[in-house]
């Protein structure tokens, strides 16, 4: 609970305690006294509600999960300079401007980029990634422990707590893994979707057939 909310809650409890004590030691009970007691009780309850709402408006951020992996960058080297710059710039921005821990780009049946915390396991899109590509809709796994199909992303990085799969049509997808459950906001998802659309245009403009990092 934030410090200001805790202070409000303490004041509310103190006021409620004084109200009860005052009612207990009163010698006579008049209508005016009763109205004062009711108003004091309502004020105490109102302050408690303020403290609760204050806490819910400023929730404690989820702690980062200790992920297993090595920091690195693997990128297909047969793209044009412009395409490589787009891959490098966009993945860097995702890792620095969002709670992303790992970024993987899958394009035309090949992994063309791994960045952030990475593993050396060969990645193949499973049911969740395929569904995102077929429907051309972003799929967000806010807490992977609730999704039995999360194992398909273990080759990207084991035990990722949150994952966003953003398709590039039916030709590929940008997959972003987060540091903690529910770490990606709606704003983060829109940012990922925007860069994915731009990346799709950039990659589709080239004719090169990149060699996937997994095959090295």
pLDDT value of residue 154: 92
Q: Does residue 205 register a pLDDT over 80?
A: yes
Q: Are residues 116 and 205 in the same domain?
A: yes
> How many C-beta neighbours within 10 Å does residue 36 have?
14
Considering only residues 162 and 22, tell me which one the structure prediction assigns the higher pLDDT.
162
The pLDDT assigned to 213 comes to 47
203, 141: one domain: yes
Residues 112 and 170 in one domain: yes
> What CATH number corresponds to the domain at position 209?
3.30.450.40
Q: What is the pLDDT of residues 110-154, one digit of tens each?
A: 999 999 999 989 999 999 999 999 999 999 999 998 888 889 999
- 80 and 45 in one domain? no
CA distance 162 to 180: 6
User: 35 lies in a domain?
Assistant: yes
Mark whether 52 and 18 lie in a shared domain: yes
Number of domains in the chain: 2
Q: Which pLDDT belongs to residue 139?
A: 94
How many whole angstroms separate alpha carbon 142 and alpha carbon 184? 7
> In which band, very low, low, confident or very high, does the pLDDT at 206 lie, cut at 50, 70 and 90?
low
Nearest-angstrom CA–CA distance, 84 and 62: 34
Residue span of the structural domain in which 52 resides: 3-57
Q: Is residue 127 part of a domain?
A: yes
> CA-CA distance, 119 to 76, in Å (whole number)?
16
35 and 135 fall within a common domain: no
Q: Which residue has the higher pLDDT, 211 or 61?
A: 61
Q: Do 208 and 149 share a domain, yes or no?
A: yes
3-state secondary structure of 66: coil
- Is there a domain that residue 118 lies in? yes
90 and 177 assigned to the same domain: yes
| pTM recorded for the entire structure | 0.69
Residue 37 resides in a domain: yes
- Report yes or no on 65 lying in a domain: no
Same domain, 53 and 89: no
Residue identified by tokens 């609760």 is 52
Record the tokens describing residue 104, joined without a space: 């993987």
For residue 11, being part of any structural domain is answered with yes
Does residue 151 sit in the same domain as residue 75? Answer: yes
Q: Are residues 82 and 47 in the same domain?
A: no
Instruction: Count the residues in the chain.
Output: 216
pLDDT tens profile 19-68 = 778 777 777 777 877 777 778 778 878 877 887 776 665 545 567 778 88
- pLDDT score of 75 more than 80: yes
For β-strands 70-75 and 162-167, DSSP reports them as: unpaired
Residue 152's closest CA among 180, 184, 128? 128
Q: Is residue 64 domain-resident?
A: no
- State the Cα–Cα distance between residues 107 and 75, nearest whole angstrom: 12
* Domain match, 140 and 35 both: no
């Amino acid at each position: 609970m934030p410090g200001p909310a805790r202070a409000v809650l303490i004041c509310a409890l103190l006021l409620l305690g004084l109200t009860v004590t005052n009612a207990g030691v009163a010698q006579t009970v008049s209508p005016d006294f009763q109205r004062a007691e009711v108003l004091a009780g309502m004020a105490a309850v109102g302050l408690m509600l303020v403290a609760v709402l204050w806490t819910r408006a400023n929730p404690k951020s989820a702690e980062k999960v200790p992920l297993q992996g090595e920091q690195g960058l693997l990128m297909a080297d047969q793209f044009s300079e412009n395409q490589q710059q787009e891959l490098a710039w966009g993945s860097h921005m995702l890792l620095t401007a969002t709670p992303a821990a790992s970024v993987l780009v899958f394009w035309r049946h090949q992994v063309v980029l791994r960045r952030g915390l990475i593993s050396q396991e060969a990645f193949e899109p499973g049911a969740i990634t395929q569904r995102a590509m077929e429907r051309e809709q972003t799929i967000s796994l806010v807490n992977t422990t609730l999704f039995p199909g999360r194992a398909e992303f273990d080759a990207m990085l084991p035990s990722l707590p949150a994952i966003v799969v953003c398709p590039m049509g039916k030709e590929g997808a940008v997959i972003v893994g987060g540091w903690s459950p529910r770490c990606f906001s709606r704003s983060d998802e829109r940012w990922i979707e925007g860069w994915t659309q731009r990346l799709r245009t950039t990659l589709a403009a080239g004719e090169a057939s990149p060699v996937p990092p997994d095959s090295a």
